[in-house]
Amino acid sequence: MIEVKEISKSFNDNEVLKSINVTMEEGKCNLIIGKSGAGKTVLLKCMVGLFEPTSGEILYDGRDFVKMTEKERKLIRLEMGMLFQGNALFDSMTVEENVRFPLDMFTSMSKKEKAERVNEVLERVNLKGAHKKFPSEISGGMMKRVGIARAIVQKPRYLFCDEPNSGLDPITSIVIDELIDELTKDLNIVTVINTHDMNSVMGIGDKVIYIHEGQVHWEGSGKEVMTTKDEQLNSFVFASKFWKQVKEDQQ
Amino acid sequence: MNFFYHLGRYFMTLGSLFSKPEKAGMYWKELFRQMSLIGVGSLGIISIMSLFIGAVTAVQFAYQLQGNFIPMWWIGLIVRDSLILELAPTLSALLLAGKVGSNISSELGTMRISEQIDAMKIMGVNTASYLIGPKVLASVVVMPLLIVFSVFFGIYGGLFAGVASGAYTSAEYIRGLQDPLRDADTIILFIKSVSFAFIITTISCYQGFYTTGGVVGVGKASTRAVVFSSIVVIIANFFIASLLL
C-alpha cells in the first residue's frame, strides 16, 4: 500500500501541490487524472523521488520514503518499476539489453536465469522476436511493451505509469491498458497511473483520483465517475462530445 | 553567483563519482565501451591532424633556418620538442574537446531530456557515478595514449614534409630526433595529457548531465561543453607550463 499524507510541493513561490492525501492499494489500478498543470506529474515525481516534497510523508507499506537516506531509498527503488511517457528506453541498448539492465545491475542471477526472466517478461507483454532490435527500430506500441517489460522484470511491488497511452492509437491504447490491469491483478502490485485518457478511466480505473489546482478534488471508482454530480469533475471528464453523449445515454 | 552555483554543483557531481558501484561488472563494461568510443573513434582524426601539424612545423622552421648557420638537423629536435611540450597535447586536446566533448555532452543531454537518466535513477542506479565515472576514467586512460600517438604522427609528418620538399635529408632529421630528451619534457606531456582529458570529460559530462530545455537545450549544452572545455584547457595549459617549465 502507498499512503500519501499531507504532501505539498512548491517551486519558488508557486505551490503546485497543496496537502495531498491519498491511499493506493495492492491489486488496484490507481488513476491520477486532472487538467494539464493540475499537479499530476509533480505528484508522481514526488512519489518516485524525482522531486523532493516541501512537506508531508509518502509511506510505502509504512516506510516513509521522504525521510529516508539515499541508501535506504535505493532498497525501496528496487521494489519500484516505472513506465515513462516517452518510454525512456536506453537508445544504445537492444530490447533485450534494456529489459535485462535492472537484472544486470542489481541481481546476482546467472546469464541463463537472466535470459529466462527476460524471455518470460517479453512473452508476458506479447513481444516476441524483437530481442535484438534497437528502440529506434520498433513501433511506439512495441516501445511501450518494452518499457512495461523493463518495469516489471524485477517483480516490483509498486508500478508507476506516466501517461501510458500517449502517442498510441486507440486499439493499442486499450491493449496497453489491459496489459497493465492484468499485471496489476496477477502480481498483486500497487499501480499508479497518471493519465488524460478517459477510456483508461472507464476501463481500468479501480480508483480514480481527480487533482484540481494541486488538491485532491474527488476520489472514487471509474464507474462512479459516470454517475458523479461533481460539477468540476464532470466538466473535465465529459468535456468531449463522445463521453457527454455516453453519459446522457446512460441516464 | 551563477558561476559559483555551477562551480559548486560541478564539484559535488565529481564527489558523487566516488560512491561504491552497484555492480562493478557493469561499470567495467561501460568503461571499455567508452575507451573504445573515445580511443579508437578518435585515432583517425588525431593521426591526420598530427601528421599535418608536424609537417607544417617542420616546413616553417626549415624556411626560417634557411641561409642561417644553424644546422638543419635542429629541425628534427625542434619538431620533436614542440610536439611534446605544446603542439600534441594542446592541439589534440582542443580537437578532442570538439569531438569527444560534444559527443559526451549531447549523449548525456539526450538521455536527460528523454528521461533515460530519470529511469536509471528510479531503478536505484547512482546515475552520476555510472554515466560520468566510466567516461572520465576512460578518457584519462585513453587520451594520453592518443596524445603519444599524436607526437609520433607529428614527427613522421615532419620527416615526410621536409624530405619531400628537399629542405633536409631524413638522416639530418633523424639526427635531430636522437638528441637527448629531457625527462621533464615527457613528464609535462603526461601531466598535460591527463589534466586536459580530465577537464574535457568532466566539463562535457557536467554540461550534458544537467541539460534542460529540450532538444534546443541539448545543442546549447553541447556548444557550452566545447567552448568551456577549450577555454579551461588553454588556461590550464598556461598554468602547467608556468609551473613546470
pLDDT of A203-225, one tens digit each?
Answer: 888 999 999 989 999 999 888 88
The pLDDT of residue A103 is above 90: yes
Model confidence at B1, in pLDDT bands (50, 70, 90)? low
Establish if B186 touches chain A: CB-CB under 8 angstroms.
Answer: no
**Per-residue model confidence as pLDDT tens digits over B84-123:** 999 999 999 999 999 999 999 999 999 999 999 999 999 9
Please state the φ and ψ torsions of residue B57, each to the nearest 5 degrees. Answer: -60, -45
Residue A125: pLDDT over 90 = no
Do residue A104 and residue B23 have CB atoms under 8 angstroms apart? yes
Q: How many CB pairs under 8 A join A and B?
A: 53
Q: Which residues of A touch B123 (CB under 8 A)?
A: 77-78, 80, 101-102, 105-106
Cell numbers that stand for A169 in this block: 492509437
For the whole model, what pTM was predicted?
A: 0.88
| Cα–Cα distance for residue pair B9/A239, rounded to 1 Å | 45
Q: By three-state DSSP, how is residue A29 classified?
A: strand
CB burial of residue B133 (10 Å; 0-12, 13-18, 19+): buried
Judge whether B212 is closer than 8 Å to chain A, CB to CB: no
Q: What is the nearest CA distance from B131 to chain A, expressed in angstroms? A: 12
Least CA distance to A75: which residue of chain B? B124
* pLDDT tens column, A171-208: 888 888 888 898 899 889 999 999 988 888 888 889 99
Instruction: Decide: residue A19, CB within 10 A, 0-12 exposed, 13-18 middle, 19+ buried.
Output: middle
- Among B residues 93-152, those touching chain A with beta carbons less than 8 Å apart: 110-111, 114-116, 118-119, 121-125
B118 closest CB neighbour out of A50, A101, A106: A50
Contact A77 B26 (CB under 8 A): no
Residues contacting A114, CB < 8 A, separation 6+: A100, A103, A104, A107
Residue A221 burial (CB count, 10 A): 14
Grid cell digits, residue A193: 497511473
Min Cα–Cα distance to chain A from B143, Å: 23
Contact (CB, 8 A) for B208 and B221: yes
Q: What does the block give as the cell for A136?
A: 529506434
CB contact under 8 A, B115 and A86: yes
Residue A61 falls in which region: left (phi positive, over 0), alpha (psi -120 to 50) or beta: left
Q: Give the pLDDT band (50/70/90) at residue A249.
A: confident
Q: Give the strand pairing for A80-83 and A63-64.
A: unpaired
Comparing CB atoms, the residue among B26, B110, B122 nearest residue A80 is B122
Cα(first)–Cα(last) distance of chain B, in Å?
Answer: 35
In chain A the domains, ranked by start, together with CATH numbers, are 2-250 (3.40.50.300)
**Alpha carbon of residue B210 to chain centroid:** 22
Distance CA A132, CA A104 (A): 17
Task: Write the CB contacts of B171 (distance below 8 Å, at least 6 apart in sequence).
Answer: none
Candidates B110, B111, B122: best to mutate against A (most CBs of A within 10 A) is: B122
Nearest CA in chain A to B118: A50
Nearest CA-CA distance, residue A216 and chain B, Å = 25
* Buried/exposed code over A158-184 (b: 16+ C-beta within 10 A; e: otherwise): bbbbbbbbeebeeebbbbbbebbbebb
The Cα–Cα gap between B86 and B99 comes to: 20
Query: Which single residue is written with the C-alpha cell 620533436?
Result: B80
- Per-domain residue ranges for chain B? 23-244
3-state helix, strand, coil in chain A (%, to 5): 45, 25, 35
Mutate which: B37, B107, B118, B123, vs A, most A CBs within 10 A: B123
